[in-house]
Chains A and B, each alone.
Chain A
Amino acid sequence: MRVDPMEGVTALPVAEPRPWGRLRAGGLPVIPLGIITTFVLIAILAPLISPADPEEQSLRNRFRPPVWDERGSWQHPLGTDRLGRDMLSRIFYGSRVSLTAGVVTVLLASAFGAAVGLVAGYYGGRVDAVLMRLTDATMSFPVILLALILAVTVGPSFANVVVAIAVILWARYARVIRGQVLTLMELDFIAQARIAGAGAWRVISRHLLPNTLNTLVVLVTLQIGYVIIVEASLSFLGAGIPPPTPAWGSMIAEGREFVTSAWWVSFFPGLAILLVVLAFNLLGDWLRDTLDPKLRQL
């Protein structure tokens, strides 16, 4: 009688589950992904779906309340601001600023920070010491102050905001990635690669970088929300994206004086920020728990 060796075995144990496989297993966070997708679509389709031109002024229509107020109308679903501009359209267009600022800044910062972290961790010794002192010095610099200085010296612009935040933010990535590289360097596969004759570039790009990607993904997602808040704070202080371009932070600032009589001008842009940042934070939390549960401190 022949016995099938596989009989009764339904699944073979997997030695090392692939991290991205776990992504599907955990059940996707539908709400955060839904919010992010919606806002990305809004940003892309802003010219098509906006009820009005976001910069078109109409002084006769100043401070129109939202549609559910008895004085409101469907012409301006979320009301108008002090120059009679349509709030909904401005919020739609404002999502472009916030999302681009968030994503571009974080990508710049993470690319540079990860490079520094990889190099510092790989070479160690004096290179590591110098790079880490630089990282510490950068981390102690308050982001908003630097951005404010840049705004005054070079003038407020989108590029300045991105540069000012990225110039500080990279340090976070450098720190975390270096820490991971230090642990990886102790492992056998790195030593084997080096014995096999792999050079610095190959070890870094082929062995170290792929093993820090999970951390990078988590950190990037969590930081996008933070950057959106910082960008909005800068626009609020007048050091961000200059008017008349609609940015959520400056919209809140513009409505600040009229908050008693026309609360909606400050309220809705703030709500938009809250929703987007909340979505990115929730997604980041979920990614961390799924991909890299050890990274609780991020």
Chain B
Amino acid sequence: MIRFVLSRVLQSLVALAILSVVVFILARATGDPLHLILPMSASEEDYAYARRYLGLDRPYVEQYFSFVGKAVTGDFGTSLRARRPVSELIRERLPNSLRLALFAMCVSLSFAFPLGVLAAVKKGTWIDRTAQVIAVLGQSLPTFWVAIVLVEFVAGRLQWLPAGGISGFASYILPGFTLGWFVVAGMMRLLRSGMLEVLDSEYVKLARVKGVVERRVVWLHALKNALIPVVTFAGIYFAILVTTAIVVETVFAWPGLGRLAYEGISSRDFPVIQAVVLTTAAIVAVVNLGVDLLYAVIDPRIRHAR
């Protein structure tokens, strides 16, 4: 088990390292960042001085290691637009994003679970068909469009809920549902197919023959094993949530990481973009790592494989 944990941690670190190289190269591929920092009237000497000052005259390899060294300690430089340390911006925005993601995840789970299980148990009935329709719609609706429609009708015309920003629990509902909706579909389908498979298995039949109450068979015996694929995909769902959040946060004016990325990109604020991409990837990597470890605990075959 220890070997499995170590190799998984190492894998995540390698993935992050590759990512940091990509981000570093892309940030330099834009051309001279000094064009963005210095005023139009800057002279050749100003450029030379700024280059030395920012360490841009050093070899790329050296620049990369200094970038990574600082990034590890949380130092991502200064935002070109806000003129504040990027780490400060991240610390301000990250909790908002995490809270929204958590809320969205709760929304997804509270819909996906009952729907997935019921669809499998009542296979072929109207419940199953409704669940299927919800699933395929969830995967086909463009999130940002749903967001706009919700803002217009629920927040604008009906005035039931706030349209944007954070102001108490009510402001979580619209962005949370918009974000969570997309994930409900995939999760529900996984749960349904998992349940169908498990309900057909020998040990469930045995449990029934032994006279275990049906409710207990479904919610205890079957669900436990149908959960395995759902857990495996939880990491991917989380990555989807994080990505979709960029769009949702933009529409709902949510002061989170996604909107910070959007703002950074529209003002070509490189330190911010680097920081957001790396922070996001690190979070996704940690979640994936956690999921894999959890997976190995649930299903011992995994840790003994390969």
Measured CB to CB, the residues of A under 8 A from B are 133-134, 136-137, 139-145, 148-154, 225-226, 229, 232-233, 236-239, 249, 252-253, 256, 259-260, 263, 266-267, 270, 273-274, 277-278, 281-282, 285, 296-297
Whether A144 touches B247, Cβ cut-off 8 Å, given contacts A149-B265, A281-B139, A285-B136, is: yes
Given the known interface contacts A142-B280, A145-B280, A260-B152, the answer about A281 and B140 at a Cβ–Cβ threshold of 8 Å is yes
Contact of B250 with A137 in the complex, beta carbons under 8 Å: no
Residues of A within 8 A of B247 (CB): 144, 233, 236-237
| B145 neighbours in A (Cβ, 8 Å) | 252, 266, 270, 273-274
List residues of chain A with CB within 8 A of the CB of B189: 296
Per a CB cutoff under 8 Å, which of B23, B141, B151, B246 touches A237? B246
Contact A140 B148 (CB under 8 A): no
Would you give 11 A-B contacts (Cβ < 8 Å), ordered by A? A144-B246, A151-B265, A237-B246, A252-B142, A253-B144, A259-B151, A267-B149, A270-B149, A278-B140, A296-B193, A297-B233
Task: In the complex, identify which listed stretch (B14-22, B64-72, B74-82, B173-181) lies at the interface while the others stay far away.
Answer: B14-22
Q: Which residues of B contact A273 (CB under 8 A)?
A: 142, 145
> Does chain A have a CB within 8 A of B30?
yes
Q: Is the CB of A297 within 8 A of B15?
A: no
B residues within 8 A CB of A282?
136
**Inside 8 A of B280's CB, which chain A residues have their CB?**
142, 145
A238→B288 CA distance, assembly (Å): 30
Instruction: Map CB proximity to A onto B257-278 as digits: 1 under 8 Å, 0 otherwise.
Output: 0000110011010000100110
Are the C-beta atoms of A137 and B261 separated by less than 8 Å?
A: no
* Contact indicator A149/B26 (Cβ below 8 Å): yes
Judging by beta carbons under 8 Å apart, are B15 and A145 in contact? no
Cα-based distance from A232 to B190 in the complex (angstroms):
26
Q: Is the CB of A133 within 8 A of B261?
A: no
Q: Give the residue among A142, A239, A285, A297 with the most B Cβ atoms within 10 A.
A: A142
Given contacts A259-B152, A260-B152, contact A148 B144 (CB under 8 A): no
Cα(A150)–Cα(B14), bound, Å: 23
